[in-house]
Structures are given as C-alpha cells and as structure tokens.
Structure 1
Amino acid sequence: MAIVKVTQDLIETSLRAIDWPAQDAKTDNDIAREIATNPDAAPILSAAQTAAAITRLIRQRLGITQTEFAARYQIPIGTLRDWEQNRKQPDAPAMAYLRVIAREPEIVARALIPA
C-alpha cells in the first residue's frame, strides 16, 4: 500500500480539477445511480443506521461487550441493544452522550463511579 502525503497544494489542485457546474447539475437520482454502480462506494445509511453503526463502533473500539458497556456507562442493556440493532434511534442527548464516551471513555466511566 502506497502512502500519499496530502498537502494543501494537492488539495487545491484536486479541487480545481473538478467540474463544479457538472457536479451541481446532478440530480439525487444521478447521484444514487453513480453510488449504485461504484463498487467502492459505501452505502447511504439512514440516520438510524448511522446511529446504530456509531454505537457499535464505540463499544467495539473499547473492546467490551454490550453488557460491560451498558454497566460502565449506565445505559439500560435493552436500550443499548435496540440502538445497536437499529430498532430504536438514540435521541439528541443520548447521541451527545455517546460522542462524549467516544472521545473520553475513561473520564466518563470514572465520573460515573459512585462516591
């Protein structure tokens, strides 16, 4: 695998090479068709699917089970399972909490230990 150093000049050159009027003229159907025919394109996820993926990713990055995650961060296990299995979507405060856990998992866990 080759490593490419991304420089400001490289970014600017790449942006100048884009046909912006052609990009702006694309419809949602055009974009969906391009995504569908590109084997390297990631699928477009709904907000609920994105939340489920984020929740799983945070827990997996920490290397702990659902039960351990739920206990450590005081989230009901059923709620966590619903989020991860895309049965329910975390509301805005829950997503904010998950973002804090993602950035500072040890601090959050420590803050939740009963005094």
Structure 2
Amino acid sequence: MGLALDIARAILPLVIVGGIAVFVILRMKHKYEKGTLGKKKTKDAQNLLDSLIPFGMMIGFAIAIFLSIFSPISLLSAMTWGPGIGFLFGYFAYEIYSKKEESHS
C-alpha cells in the first residue's frame, strides 16, 4: 500500500498539470479554428498579448521555487505545480487582455 501511495503522490501533480496544459491547448486551438484569437492593433500590444502565457509560466515557476525554499513543499513538486498553475493564469490573463479595448491616447 505504501508503494502505491508513493507512486500516486509522484504522478498526481503531473496528471493534473498535464490536464491543465491539454485544457489550455485545446481552448487555444478552438479559438484559432474559429478565428477568434486575440488581435491587437499595435505591434507592442500584440507582443504583450502573445507573451502573457510564457510570462505566467515563468512567474509561476519563480513563486514555486520561493515557496519550496520557505515551506516544506518539495522542490520537485513545486517545479511541477508552479509552471502549470502559471500556464493556467497566463491563459486567463490572455483571455482578459484580448477582450480589452485599446485606448487611443
């Protein structure tokens, strides 16, 4: 029983983060096929929009590393959860920012 619990404890974060990745990729593919991906008028705004998901992953990774240093969370587990949750939050930021109108000031 102990071995099965250890295996489940090791694989569960990968399964959940893999599910998050599949969800985001399928949503982006669906938006691409419908032609509703976020488009901005200026090149700078489009670059910001396109970089939200990778920035989310990097920020999630950095937060996870700090949490693993100052808490009993293992580094390996933090390295799995951080980018996965950052990927999801980056996608949500992408969705919110892509719907926002640009100000012409």
TM-score higher than 0.5: no
- From the two aligned structures, give the one with the greater helix fraction: 2
Higher relative contact order structure (alpha carbons within 8 Å, sequence separation ≥ 6): 2
Normalised by the length of structure 1, the TM-score is: 0.31
- Scaled by the length of structure 2, the TM-score of the pair is 0.32
Give the number of the structure whose alpha-carbon radius of gyration is greater.
1
